[in-house]
Structure formats: C-alpha cells, structure tokens
Amino acid sequence: MAHTFRTGRAVRMSTATAAAALVLTAAAPAAQAQDEQPASSGSVGLVDVVQDGTEIRVGPIAACDADDKPANSTPGIEVGDGDLATYGRGESTCDRTDGVATTKVSGERFSTSVLEEYGGPEIRVRSFGAECRTTENGSASSMELSGVSGFDLPEEIPPNHEVLIPGADADAPPLAKVVLNEFTAPDPPDGSLEMSAVRIELFPEGGPVTGDIRLGLAACDPYGT
C-alpha cells in the first residue's frame, strides 16, 4: 500500500483552508472478469445521531451512484430545526467512463450549533469537497475545506486526522471528536476505499447527543461490480 499526501497550508478560524490527497494502491489483483466494472458512490452528507433518546437519521443527502443515479443535488437541508445540522447547496456526481470510475462531491454553508448548549463552539464550514477515482491498480482520493470555524485545522492533514473539542473544564470529557480526511480500506488492500472529508463524532465518551455528522462522502472500487 502506498500513500501520497499533498496538503495546502491552513490558517485558523473563518479563513481556514486546507486540501489533502491520498493514493491507495492494491496488490496486483487476479484477472478481472470482462463483466466487472469499477464502482463509485457518494453523497453530500449524513446525520446519524441519538439526541435525548431519539434516533435521528437523515441521508445520505444528495446521494449518487455510477450505476443507478449518476448525479444528484440538494438546495439545502436543516436537521433538528437547524441546530443539529444545516447543509447549504450541494451536489454529487458519480461517473464511469472508459473503465475509470470517479466520484465528486461538493457542498457549502454547513453548520452545527448542537454543542453550544454544553459550552462548546458552533462549527461552520463554508465549503467542502471530496473526490475519488479508480486507477489501474487502486484508487485515489482528495478533499478540500475552506472557511472553517469551531476547531483548528493543522498545517497538513494526513488520513484520519483527529481534533478533539474539549469539555467546559479540564476534567470534563470531550464534547466532540472531529475526524478530517477519514478513509477506510480493506486489509489486505484490494484497491477500494471509502472516505469522508469531515466526520463529527458527538460526545465520543457518551453524553446527551451521540453519533456522527458527516460531510463529503465518496467511495471508489476498481473491481466493484
């Protein structure tokens, strides 16, 4: 497995911008059957949380799939009267051309104020993007964020980079764990990957609101269908 990262410099708070890229290479696969085609899918976002004992699941938002729905979009959506999550306009495109599958997802004006009641920040992302594509022997992915507030971006964003949002005092458990450039892949690798530009895990050690809020999901598999 080979990883290559190219990351832009990040500055803090509302002017923050960052980009990251990853290349995932698989061991040489067995001969591919002629009817097999690479697969791709994606969505603008997903909310899957439990708040005050009530399960709230919204999404995948504006989901696409290279086989069934190659393009999708959303004018925006509010979850939990907007305090749990607000997504602005977003779109997704899944394509398969000449044996190469790609997924491109973009969104804007995301916010969540769910942590403010517990002394935490409002999290905002002005724009975000996620992309993956299949290659001759694997898949590659990239992500972009801009206009971030509520947590700090590092100067470089490796895969699965975690940022903790602390509680109100030193002894309090974290209010959230923000995972940037999150990706999962099989072990041993087969060239496929799934990634999220941002995953916000609420009260990771337990609390009044638990679960995940995701931005920019993309998945690619060179030997998928």
Residues 153-163 have pLDDT tens digits of 887 788 999 99
pLDDT of residue 191: 87
Q: Is 160 left (phi over 0), alpha (psi -120 to 50) or beta?
A: left
Is there a contact between 220 and 132 (Cβ–Cβ < 8 Å)?
Answer: yes
Is there a contact between 93 and 104 (Cβ–Cβ < 8 Å)?
Answer: yes
pLDDT of residue 81: 77
Euclidean distance between CA atoms 1 and 17, whole angstroms: 28
Residue 108 tokens read as: 């804007």
pTM, two decimals, is 0.83
Euclidean distance between CA atoms 105 and 11, whole angstroms: 23
Tell me the domain boundaries of the chain.
Answer: 13-28+38-221
Query: What's the gap between Cα 149 and its chain centre?
Result: 17
Q: For 105-138, how does the pLDDT look when each residue is reduced to its tens digit (9 = 90+)?
A: 999 999 999 999 999 999 999 999 999 999 877 8
Euclidean distance between CA atoms 108 and 90, whole angstroms: 6
Q: For 13-43, how does the pLDDT look when each residue is reduced to its tens digit (9 = 90+)?
A: 333 455 555 555 554 444 444 567 899 999 9
6-15, 42-51, 185-194: range with highest mean pLDDT: 42-51
Q: What are phi and psi of 64, to 5 degrees?
A: -130, 160
pLDDT of residue 35: 60
Q: Tell me which residue of 40, 21, 7 sits closest to 218, measured CA to CA.
A: 40
